[in-house]
Amino acid sequence: MKKRYYLLLPLAFVIFTCCQNPDQKTGDKRFEVTTDETATSSKEKSAVPDLVFYNLFSPVDVDRVINEKNGHFNAEFLNSVNNATRYTDSYKMALNLGVYGADLSYLWIYDQTQQAFNYLATIQALTEKLDIPKDFVDFTLLSVEHNSDEIDTLKSIARDAYAATDRYLKGSERENAAVLILLGGWIESLHIALNLYQETDSKLAGKILTQKYSLNSLINMVQNQHDDLKMSEYLLLLKKLNDAFGSFESKLSPSDIEIDTVNKTIKIKEGTRLDIKPVAFAELKQQVATLRAHIVD
């Protein structure tokens, strides 16, 4: 049987952040982060045409997985499957399709197989309500059990499934749904990362900070749906979140960044030092929580 998975791509960010091993410790109230974040390679880009945005949910993040899990599993980070019945309009359903996709990968990372089955069923139910063909969400217990502990396989399946679904939605003139799914997955990923964050974890801090480039991409994508009044509501919330990212004090200059407009990638040069005030994470976490509540409630 051909196996297909849907909505795992937004979890590339979660997979990276959950599996990091925080090895840089400091008691300072401010610390410097040395980072090297690349959105995607040219080789991988050719395999995912039109889907890779600047630093946004790139599958290459999975390649940076460190075997040590970051902290312990916490079910409170997730959006309960019991909330799915609340989502009766297409906007909420699309957003939470992304949210549940992110939660699903978090569950797999921590080997929460039984809960993962419940999230798979919820994803299937939402896709049916959104009239997405069943072929794109053909989950089976056998396929989940066979691939749930194989990160590379999940990465490949996620890339293919997301590309196919994205093309279907855009081909059906439902690009707003594709954007909302991406938005929901990204917010949930950032929500999980911020809840995993500890003040001394400079690696995770750097990863979170680079998500401001993902946010810029999301804002542009939502702005492109300017004829949709409902999308304008989410645009305002994203701009407030952008202000929170702006509260970070950094020494990142244009010379520290490499932008490839052809392959749509952003790379922060290796060795770049980011001066971060950890107190800014509290404001960022609050803004993410506000936006997430707007999505999941």
DSSP string covering 221-232, please?
Answer: HHHTTTT-HHHH
Residue-wise pLDDT for 100-151, tens only, equals 888 887 887 777 878 877 888 898 888 889 888 876 656 544 555 566 566 5
pLDDT class for 30, splitting at 50, 70, 90? very low
9: CB partners within 8 A, 6+ apart:
57, 59, 101, 158, 159, 161, 162, 185
Lowest mean pLDDT among 19-28, 30-39, 246-255, 263-272: 30-39
DSSP string covering 26-90, please?
Answer: ---SSEEEEE--BS--HHHHHHSTTT-BTTBS-GGGGGG--SS-SS---GGGSPPGGGGGG--SH
In Å, what is the CA distance from 84 to each residue of 122, 147, 202? Answer: 7, 26, 35
Residue-wise pLDDT for 55-87, tens only, equals 454 322 333 333 346 668 889 999 999 999 999
The answer to whether position 4 is within a domain reads no
The answer to whether position 191 is within a domain reads yes
Domains of the chain: total: 1
The answer to whether position 63 is within a domain reads yes
Q: Which domain holds residue 214?
A: 9-23+30-296
- Residue 187 in this model has a pLDDT that exceeds 50: yes
Residue 118 near residue 81 (C-beta atoms within 8 A): yes
The answer to whether position 190 is within a domain reads yes
Three-state secondary structure call for residue 164: helix
The answer to whether position 1 is within a domain reads no
Q: What count of other Cβ atoms lies within 10 Å of the Cβ of residue 17?
A: 27
